[in-house]
Chains A and B, each alone.
Chain A
Amino acid sequence: MRTSLIEIERIDQWLLNQDAPASHLLMDARLVLDPVLRSNVRDQKTSHDLIRRYGRQKLINEIRKVEHHLFTADQHRSFRDKVKSIFNF
């Protein structure tokens, strides 16, 4: 793995608390001294947040797709009738 990816891996382990205590402390110290590393950590954290947001949207889309299928496909007629009867449609 190239050097830049190794750095990304180390930052990820630090952000996710998956590194050894000694490595974690070393990273804490490097963050105090190295502004470039600090900036990379901040950007990587933002990337994590974005990816999770993307994942959530993907799940919501999947839920809506299933719902659409349940409310339109022939094989789910009994489910639809059950829901309709609740609201007296």
Chain B
Amino acid sequence: METIEQTKTLSREQQITDWYKEVFPKVCGFVKKRGSDLEDARELFQEALVLYYEKHVTTGFLPEKVEAAYIMGIVKKLWLRKCSSENRMSSIEGIELVTAEENSVPLTQKLIKFLERTGSKCMDLLQSFYYEGLSMKEMSVRFGYCSERSVTVQKYKCLEKVRDEVKQRALGYEDFID
């Protein structure tokens, strides 16, 4: 299996497919041995992929050994967290325990409406820089700009649109959490 760096030219979709084919059956075997089902395997694996991807993007981290083994390690940690959370839930009757992480629902209805107004083209461009960590050169190729300068200017125009919307609605980050 190739690493994220080796497959930068490949699409992210192809990378995810490779991870599924190589690691997902191992995740299924892991949860089956512990008496769990396919649904748990899917949830754990999806969360592990997001965590691995974000760790790579935000820190430039690449595992020393095999990428698949590292993703499997994340799955095992998530499994332990899930088990300990379920134990806590069942041990304290009548008290709802919700961690901060569990409380961060991915996208609220409010955010979706907000993004529709801002325009998905702008949001796609912005997320490629702030989330995917692409360089200006990579962005200019992906979005068809003739130069890095052009895409830089467009990025700030889009960011201005988002910021104006945030300001107009006096939104804080907490407004986007359910």
Contact = CB atoms under 8 A, between A and B. Distances in A.
Interface of A: 1, 4-5, 8-9, 12, 39-40, 43-44, 46-60, 62-67, 69-70, 79, 82-83, 86-87
B107 A83 contact: no
Interface in B81-133: 106-107, 111, 114-115, 123-124, 126-128, 130-132
14 contacts: A5-B156, A12-B156, A43-B167, A46-B173, A50-B111, A50-B114, A50-B173, A51-B162, A52-B131, A54-B115, A54-B126, A59-B131, A63-B16, A63-B50
Given A55-B127, A55-B131, A66-B13, A8 B163 contact: yes
Given A57-B107, A63-B50, A83 B163 contact: no
Given A44-B163, A50-B114, A62 B12 contact: yes
B130 A48 contact: yes
* Interface size, B (range): 35 or more
Interface of B is mostly: helix
Nearest to B53: A59
B142 interface: no
Contact of A5 (B17, B24, B32, B157): B157
Contacts of B49: 59, 63
